[in-house]
């Protein structure tokens, strides 16, 4: 009797997709938590004595100028439904 590999492949695909999706949700939650903790650290330790690691401070500092540009462009657009400038637009305009 010949056995079709379709059903085992579908089960493996579904389970792989499920495991990958759960992993990405956990990863996204961890990144959000790290950034939230950074913001609380920055707010609580405004005197510059932060607990954040040097590598995290370096990454945040790397994009500080872009964040200030986005905030300045969107400052006047508080009542608008969409921001005037977003990170993707700024990234496309950036020259490296």
Q: Note the pLDDT of residue 85.
A: 58
Query: Model-level pTM?
Result: 0.59
Helix axes 64-75, 54-62, angle to 10 degrees: 50
* Rounded CA separation 50/45 (Å): 6
> What pLDDT does 96 receive?
44
Q: What is the largest CA-CA distance in the chain?
A: 75
- Split the chain (96 residues) into runs of 10 and give each run's mean pLDDT: 91 98 97 92 84 88 86 70 60 56
| Token pair belonging to 40 | 């609380």
């Amino acid at each position: 009797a010949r056995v079709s590999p379709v059903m085992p492949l579908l089960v493996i695909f579904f389970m792989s997709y499920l495991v990958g999706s759960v992993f990405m949700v956990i990863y996204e939650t961890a990144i959000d938590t790290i950034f939230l903790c950074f913001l609380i650290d920055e707010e609580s330790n405004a005197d510059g004595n932060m607990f954040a690691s040097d590598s995290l401070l370096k990454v945040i500092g790397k994009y500080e100028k872009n964040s200030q540009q986005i905030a300045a462009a969107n400052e006047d657009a508080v009542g608008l439904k969409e921001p005037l400038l977003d990170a993707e637009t700024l990234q496309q305009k950036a020259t490296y």
